[in-house]
Copies of this chain bind each other. A is one copy, B any other.
């Protein structure tokens, strides 16, 4: 399981890098991709989306429900579409690097398998 909002940011930016999406879809995508291990609950997701928008990493607009009409702000039902900004794209790159760096650090420890009993 994984709910920390640090990884949540990485995941949301990553999903949006593949194209525009919206809140509910993001929770579903996250769960599907991680085979249920990643639960992007409303309490985590929406505050995060707001924060990302405030930082200028994503943009939002209320547009048509159908994906192919996502830019059409005409009549009918709407939902809130989010898109990755250029700044967000850069941030995603940084986050990926940070993750890979962390990965190497932890691997430096878990890569080493136990030796023997007793004292060093």
Q: Which of B101, B110, B116, B120 contacts A37 (CB 8 A)?
A: B101
C-beta contact mask, A106-120 vs B, less than 8 Å → 1, else 0?
Answer: 101110111110111
Note all chain B residues with C-beta closer than 8 A to A44. Answer: none
Q: Interface size for chain A: under 10, 10 to 19, 20 to 34, or 35 or more residues?
A: 35 or more
How many copies the complex holds: the figure is 2
* A105: contacting residue among B2, B103, B120, CB under 8 A: B2
Give A contacts to B, CB under 8 Å: 2, 7, 10-11, 14-15, 17-21, 33-35, 37-38, 67-68, 70-71, 89, 92, 96, 99-103, 105-106, 108-110, 112-116, 118-120
Sample of 15 further A-B pairs with CB below 8 A, known A11-B109, A17-B114, A71-B119? A2-B105, A2-B106, A10-B109, A11-B106, A14-B109, A14-B112, A17-B112, A17-B113, A18-B112, A18-B120, A19-B116, A35-B105, A68-B119, A70-B119, A96-B110
